[in-house]
Amino acid sequence: MIWLMLATLVVVFVVGFQLLTAGSRHAAQGLSKRLQLPPVHVESMLSLMGKDAAKEFTDYISGDNETHLGNGAAVLLIWQVLIVDGGDANAVRWHGILTKAGFSGLISRQQLLLALGFLRQLEPESAELHALREQYNARFTQQGIELEGESGEVSNLVSMSEWRKRH
């Protein structure tokens, strides 16, 4: 009789745990599947974010919004390249993973600010991350940092430094 109560308690605990963590696991698996990576990359980032920020992140990427999923991938890129391992080989690897998945391999200013919000428990230094962003983007573009509100499309926008060089 006691073993039946213990078994029931274990089943209730396991089912309750599965129901409580289903949303975050589903969001992490969705991002991992899109990037064709094992879920450990996303889950380890979520565990270091802290409870509140991890919940905000999974809520942010859990919808069908492609932009949010791309921004979530950029947060993972920022975490992997700027915080975990800033080596050139790692940067090239993660740039390839994002571009293969159909996302931009570059980090925009807005994505960096979003990452600073989600990774706030790690207390990253904003100025340092902005400098690392510039170095990372310079590795993969001819001009380095793109303009505010940048896009990968051909544009009439010219940076002030480029304009000064021409005139």
pLDDT digits (tens, 9 = 90+) for 18-68: 555 555 556 677 777 888 888 888 888 888 888 888 888 888 887 777 888
Nearest to 118 by CA among 66, 64, 63, 42: 42
Give a yes or no: residue 53 inside a domain. Answer: yes
- Distance separating alpha carbons of residues 120 and 83, to the nearest angstrom: 12
Average pLDDT, the chain: 76
**Sequence-ordered list of residues with C-beta below 8 angstroms from that of 84, at least 6 positions apart, any chain:** 90
Give a yes or no: residue 105 inside a domain. Answer: yes
The range of the structural domain enclosing residue 96 comes to: 24-141
What pLDDT is stored for residue 120 in this prediction?
85
Give a yes or no: residue 46 inside a domain. Answer: yes
What pLDDT is stored for residue 162 in this prediction?
62
Give a yes or no: residue 111 inside a domain. Answer: yes
Q: For the chain, what is the domain count? A: 1
Give a yes or no: residue 6 inside a domain. Answer: no
What pLDDT is stored for residue 37 in this prediction?
85
Give a yes or no: residue 8 inside a domain. Answer: no
What pLDDT is stored for residue 72 in this prediction?
86
Give a yes or no: residue 152 inside a domain. Answer: no
- Distance separating alpha carbons of residues 76 and 70, to the nearest angstrom: 10
- Distance separating alpha carbons of residues 44 and 22, to the nearest angstrom: 16
pTM above 0.85, yes or no: no
Residue 90 has pLDDT above 80, yes or no: yes
